[in-house]
Every structure is written in structure tokens, then in C-alpha cells.
Amino acid sequence: MNGGVYDPSTFSGSRGVFFRTTDGGTAWQLFDIPIGSFSFVDTVNGFSWSGYDDNGLYLIRTRDGGVHWDTTYLPFGVVHNDQFFPDAISYIDTLNGWMFCETYYNGGSSGMIIRTSDGGNSWIKESIGISYYFGDAMMLDQYHGWAVTLLGEVVGYELITSVVEHLPELPTGFILRQNYPNPFNSSTVIEYEIPEASNVRIAVYDETGKLISTLVDERQLPGVYRIQFDARSLSSGIYYYTMQAGLYRATKQLIFLK
């Protein structure tokens, strides 16, 4: 657990620390490491953050039960075009983790969920514009979890992969964007733009040209869209996704690594 101890030498009169027990709570070992909300996936691997500045967030990870921590830096603009502040973090293994955050969005503040599938090296926006802020959260697996809001409400998390999200951006043309992350593990995000109402079809194929999945096949209004491709049932390898909209056709490569 994390907390604070009395320290009159500091400005606030206390300092952040991290506590660990290996005997069910009878005895606790103190580490002088201030961390935010944290998530351990086993007795040695854990994730947290240690603070932020005006440009980004300091993510930390331990591989020895909290004795030592490695630091990486996550610039705000990599995930979202404004600042965000994590309220809770939850990992289900050493690759897949979620941060439940608050951010500025569309002229106001809102909740946001971001996700990593590579141990925190890269993150994607999974949901934004949520009307409440988070107090704590726990993921049970890749598709289900629970969160507590600052109003004391308990809300359930469920990843919906078949819904096309309409983003608050203006299209600049017919564009199929590169998926992210790429390479990816389990799932990846595909975004695309259409400047006029069109019949849109987006499909995924393997290296032999066999159809794997049709992600979109409908008429859509002008806009920028996002959909998630879930590949957990597939074998590792190179795949291709195509977009057809009117006379426009484009193909890009995605790499799935289990």
C-alpha cells in the first residue's frame, strides 16, 4: 500500500512512502518511494506513477516487488492533445494495463480511460468524454472491470469492440490512417476519414488474401471515425486492412504479436 509518514523537514510535514508485507499484514516493510495508485500483477511485477510536470507523466515499474523502480516518461500529447491526470491504474498482466484519468475535453473537464498492451511503452485512448471522475478501479480481465467514482458510485467496465466511434474532428479527405499501436498484442485501433456521405467498408485479410473480419460495412456521414480490431483469436503474423469508400481504396499493414 502507499501512504505518507511524518517528516518535519519537508514543506508539507510529510513524505510519500510505499509499504509491503510478505506475511499477510503482520509486518510491513517501508520503501521511501512516493507513488500514486499502483497495480501489482504478481509478487514482483508492479506499475504506478510518481508524478508529472507540465508536459507529461512519469510512469514507474518494478520487477522485484517494489525494491527498485524503472521510470519512463509519457508526454501528454502522445495519448491526448491536452493534459490528463491519472486517478487509478490497473494491470492484468505485464503487458495489458489501464489508466483511469481526468482530462480537459471539448472546453470542459471529463473522465478518460487509456490503455496499453505493451507494458506501458505506448498508450491509446479507449474512452473519453466520461461524465464522472474516478476514485479507484480494478480490471478483472481484458474485457471486464470495476471502478468507483468520486461520487461513491460503482460502475462496470466492458470493452465493446464492434462499435464505430465518431470522433470530434473534421475530415480532410478520404484517408485510412495507420493503426496504433503497431505491432500490437490482442487489439489495435483503426481510424479513418470520409469528407462526404459514403458507403464504407473496412475489412482485414491475412497474407494469402483470405478475409479475416469485416469491421465496417455501412453508409456513413462525413467525419472521422475509430474502430477497434480484436485479434486475440488469431495467430501472430502480418495482416492487411483495406478501406473502400466510393472510388477511394487504400490498404495498410498491421503486425500482430502474441
Q: What is the pTM of this model?
A: 0.61
Name the pLDDT band for 163 (thresholds 50, 70, 90). Answer: low
Question: What is residue 12's predicted lDDT score, i.e. its pLDDT?
Answer: 47
The C-alpha angle 212, 216, 218, rounded to 5 degrees, equals 140
- Under CATH, to which class is 165-256 assigned? mainly beta
Of 155-159, 176-180, 193-197, minimum mean pLDDT range: 155-159
Which range scores top for mean pLDDT: 45-59, 81-95, 170-184? 170-184
Query: How far apart are the C-alpha atoms of 2 and 17, rounded to whole Å?
Result: 6
Name the pLDDT band for 42 (thresholds 50, 70, 90). Answer: very high
User: Residues 47-58: what's their mean pLDDT?
Assistant: 87
Question: What is residue 16's predicted lDDT score, i.e. its pLDDT?
Answer: 64
Question: What is residue 80's predicted lDDT score, i.e. its pLDDT?
Answer: 80
> Is there a cis peptide before residue 195, judged by omega within 30 degrees of 0?
no
Stretch (H or E) spanning 226: strand 223-230
pLDDT in tens, 101-158: 998 877 778 888 888 888 888 887 777 778 888 989 999 987 789 999 888 889 887 6
CB atoms within 10 A of CB 220: 17
What single letter denotes the amino acid at residue 181?
A: P
Nearest to 58 by CA among 68, 48, 46: 48
Does 11 have pLDDT greater than 50? no
CA distances from 180 to 11, 48, 166, 227 (A): 43, 23, 17, 11
What average pLDDT does the chain have?
Answer: 85
Question: What is residue 158's predicted lDDT score, i.e. its pLDDT?
Answer: 66
Question: What is residue 198's predicted lDDT score, i.e. its pLDDT?
Answer: 93
